[in-house]
Amino acid sequence: MKLNLGCGFDKRDGYINLDNFEHCNPDILHDIESAPYPFPDDYFDEILIKHVLEHVGQTFSVFKKVIQEIYRISRDGAKIIIQVPNYKHVTFWSDPTHVRAFDEITFSMMSRKQNDEWIKSKSNYTMLSYILNVDFEITNTKYIAEKNAIAKLNIQSDKELSDTIVELNTNQWNIIKEFWFELKAIKPPS
Protein backbone atom coordinates (compact mmCIF):
# COMPACT_ATOMS: atom_id res chain seq x y z
CA MET A 1 0.00 0.00 0.00
CA LYS A 2 1.19 3.49 -0.90
CA LEU A 3 0.03 6.87 0.41
CA ASN A 4 0.44 10.26 -1.24
CA LEU A 5 0.05 12.40 1.89
CA GLY A 6 -1.02 15.95 1.06
CA CYS A 7 -1.31 15.12 -2.64
CA GLY A 8 -2.69 18.46 -3.78
CA PHE A 9 -3.17 18.35 -7.54
CA ASP A 10 -0.34 15.79 -7.92
CA LYS A 11 -2.56 12.73 -7.59
CA ARG A 12 -0.73 9.52 -8.42
CA ASP A 13 -1.87 6.17 -9.74
CA GLY A 14 -1.17 3.30 -7.36
CA TYR A 15 -1.38 5.58 -4.31
CA ILE A 16 -4.14 6.56 -1.94
CA ASN A 17 -4.18 10.33 -2.46
CA LEU A 18 -5.07 12.23 0.73
CA ASP A 19 -5.50 15.98 1.14
CA ASN A 20 -7.71 18.45 2.99
CA PHE A 21 -8.20 20.67 -0.08
CA GLU A 22 -11.43 19.44 -1.66
CA HIS A 23 -10.79 21.26 -4.96
CA CYS A 24 -8.00 18.80 -5.80
CA ASN A 25 -10.51 15.94 -5.47
CA PRO A 26 -8.37 13.61 -3.34
CA ASP A 27 -9.30 9.96 -2.77
CA ILE A 28 -9.61 10.79 0.92
CA LEU A 29 -10.45 14.25 2.24
CA HIS A 30 -8.65 14.64 5.58
CA ASP A 31 -6.69 17.35 7.40
CA ILE A 32 -3.09 16.19 7.90
CA GLU A 33 -2.94 18.07 11.20
CA SER A 34 -5.92 16.10 12.53
CA ALA A 35 -5.14 12.80 14.23
CA PRO A 36 -5.84 10.00 13.90
CA TYR A 37 -5.48 9.47 10.17
CA PRO A 38 -8.17 7.18 8.71
CA PHE A 39 -5.85 4.17 8.43
CA PRO A 40 -4.92 1.27 10.72
CA ASP A 41 -1.50 0.87 12.30
CA ASP A 42 1.33 -0.50 10.13
CA TYR A 43 -0.64 -0.08 6.90
CA PHE A 44 1.67 1.52 4.33
CA ASP A 45 4.84 0.28 2.63
CA GLU A 46 5.51 3.71 1.13
CA ILE A 47 4.46 7.26 1.97
CA LEU A 48 5.17 10.18 -0.34
CA ILE A 49 5.15 13.60 1.37
CA LYS A 50 5.94 16.09 -1.38
CA HIS A 51 6.12 19.73 -0.30
CA VAL A 52 3.76 19.23 2.63
CA LEU A 53 5.68 19.15 5.91
CA GLU A 54 6.81 22.77 5.63
CA HIS A 55 3.12 23.77 5.69
CA VAL A 56 2.00 21.81 8.77
CA GLY A 57 2.70 21.79 12.48
CA GLN A 58 3.25 25.42 13.28
CA THR A 59 3.19 24.48 16.97
CA PHE A 60 5.37 21.64 18.20
CA SER A 61 2.36 19.76 19.59
CA VAL A 62 0.75 19.64 16.12
CA PHE A 63 4.06 18.78 14.45
CA LYS A 64 4.49 15.95 16.97
CA LYS A 65 1.06 14.51 16.08
CA VAL A 66 1.81 14.66 12.34
CA ILE A 67 5.12 12.80 12.67
CA GLN A 68 3.65 10.27 15.10
CA GLU A 69 0.78 9.54 12.69
CA ILE A 70 3.17 9.05 9.78
CA TYR A 71 5.11 6.59 11.94
CA ARG A 72 1.97 4.83 13.22
CA ILE A 73 0.60 4.08 9.74
CA SER A 74 4.02 2.97 8.37
CA ARG A 75 4.97 -0.68 8.33
CA ASP A 76 8.37 -1.77 9.58
CA GLY A 77 10.82 -0.95 6.80
CA ALA A 78 8.38 1.39 5.04
CA LYS A 79 9.92 3.94 2.69
CA ILE A 80 9.03 7.55 3.53
CA ILE A 81 9.86 9.98 0.71
CA ILE A 82 9.95 13.61 1.83
CA GLN A 83 10.51 16.61 -0.41
CA VAL A 84 10.88 20.02 1.24
CA PRO A 85 12.25 23.39 0.16
CA ASN A 86 15.64 24.49 1.44
CA TYR A 87 15.20 27.23 4.03
CA LYS A 88 18.22 28.92 2.44
CA HIS A 89 16.37 29.45 -0.83
CA VAL A 90 14.03 32.28 -1.74
CA THR A 91 11.20 29.83 -2.53
CA PHE A 92 11.02 28.86 1.14
CA TRP A 93 10.61 32.43 2.36
CA SER A 94 8.39 33.66 -0.47
CA ASP A 95 5.49 31.38 0.54
CA PRO A 96 3.64 32.79 3.58
CA THR A 97 2.13 29.35 4.32
CA HIS A 98 5.53 27.83 5.17
CA VAL A 99 5.73 27.37 8.94
CA ARG A 100 8.65 24.96 9.48
CA ALA A 101 12.13 24.37 8.00
CA PHE A 102 13.92 21.03 7.58
CA ASP A 103 17.36 19.68 6.80
CA GLU A 104 19.25 16.40 7.37
CA ILE A 105 19.75 17.10 11.06
CA THR A 106 15.98 17.36 11.56
CA PHE A 107 15.48 13.79 10.38
CA SER A 108 18.64 12.51 12.11
CA MET A 109 16.98 13.69 15.34
CA MET A 110 14.20 11.15 14.59
CA SER A 111 16.63 8.21 14.50
CA ARG A 112 16.84 6.12 17.67
CA LYS A 113 20.32 4.91 16.70
CA GLN A 114 21.52 8.50 16.18
CA ASN A 115 19.87 9.65 19.42
CA ASP A 116 21.64 6.87 21.32
CA GLU A 117 25.00 7.91 19.83
CA TRP A 118 24.35 11.53 20.77
CA ILE A 119 23.34 10.55 24.30
CA LYS A 120 26.51 8.48 24.69
CA SER A 121 28.70 11.38 23.50
CA LYS A 122 26.67 13.93 25.51
CA SER A 123 25.91 15.92 22.35
CA ASN A 124 23.60 18.89 22.43
CA TYR A 125 20.81 17.80 20.05
CA THR A 126 17.11 17.37 20.62
CA MET A 127 16.38 13.65 20.92
CA LEU A 128 13.24 13.71 18.77
CA SER A 129 13.16 9.93 18.40
CA TYR A 130 12.54 9.63 22.13
CA ILE A 131 10.33 12.73 22.43
CA LEU A 132 8.11 11.65 19.52
CA ASN A 133 8.45 7.91 20.16
CA VAL A 134 9.37 7.28 16.52
CA ASP A 135 12.35 5.74 14.75
CA PHE A 136 13.31 6.71 11.20
CA GLU A 137 16.66 6.15 9.49
CA ILE A 138 17.77 8.35 6.59
CA THR A 139 18.55 6.00 3.70
CA ASN A 140 19.14 8.61 0.99
CA THR A 141 19.42 12.37 0.56
CA LYS A 142 19.23 14.20 -2.74
CA TYR A 143 19.97 17.88 -3.20
CA ILE A 144 18.08 19.68 -5.93
CA ALA A 145 20.20 22.60 -7.07
CA GLU A 146 18.99 25.95 -8.32
CA LYS A 147 19.47 25.73 -12.10
CA ASN A 148 20.83 29.26 -12.41
CA ALA A 149 23.44 28.56 -9.74
CA ILE A 150 24.77 25.33 -11.28
CA ALA A 151 24.78 26.69 -14.83
CA LYS A 152 27.76 28.84 -13.84
CA LEU A 153 29.73 25.85 -12.53
CA ASN A 154 31.87 23.70 -14.82
CA ILE A 155 31.06 20.33 -13.27
CA GLN A 156 31.31 17.00 -15.06
CA SER A 157 29.83 14.43 -12.64
CA ASP A 158 26.76 14.13 -10.39
CA LYS A 159 29.01 13.35 -7.40
CA GLU A 160 31.11 16.47 -7.97
CA LEU A 161 27.92 18.53 -8.40
CA SER A 162 26.44 17.19 -5.17
CA ASP A 163 29.63 17.83 -3.18
CA THR A 164 29.99 21.31 -4.65
CA ILE A 165 26.44 22.49 -4.02
CA VAL A 166 26.47 21.15 -0.45
CA GLU A 167 29.70 23.06 0.19
CA LEU A 168 28.38 26.24 -1.45
CA ASN A 169 25.09 25.95 0.47
CA THR A 170 26.91 26.31 3.79
CA ASN A 171 27.86 29.90 2.99
CA GLN A 172 25.50 31.03 0.24
CA TRP A 173 21.79 31.27 -0.34
CA ASN A 174 19.83 30.09 -3.41
CA ILE A 175 22.18 27.21 -4.25
CA ILE A 176 20.09 24.21 -3.15
CA LYS A 177 16.40 24.67 -3.95
CA GLU A 178 15.01 21.47 -2.39
CA PHE A 179 15.97 18.55 -0.19
CA TRP A 180 14.67 15.08 -1.02
CA PHE A 181 14.96 12.64 1.87
CA GLU A 182 14.24 8.95 1.88
CA LEU A 183 13.62 7.52 5.32
CA LYS A 184 12.97 3.99 6.54
CA ALA A 185 10.55 3.35 9.39
CA ILE A 186 12.10 1.15 12.08
CA LYS A 187 9.53 -0.63 14.21
CA PRO A 188 10.25 -2.84 17.22
CA PRO A 189 9.41 -6.54 16.87
CA SER A 190 5.88 -7.32 18.00
Average pLDDT over residues 3-23: 98
pTM score: 0.93
Q: Is the Cα dihedral 181, 135, 102, 99 positive or negative?
A: positive
pLDDT of residue 156: 64
**Tens digits of per-residue pLDDT, 143-187?**
998 887 777 776 666 777 778 888 888 888 998 999 999 999 999
CATH number of 2-145+178-185: 3.40.50.150
**Tens digits of per-residue pLDDT, 55-103?**
999 999 999 999 999 999 999 999 999 999 999 999 999 999 999 999 9
Query: What ranges do the domains of the chain cover?
Result: 2-145+178-185
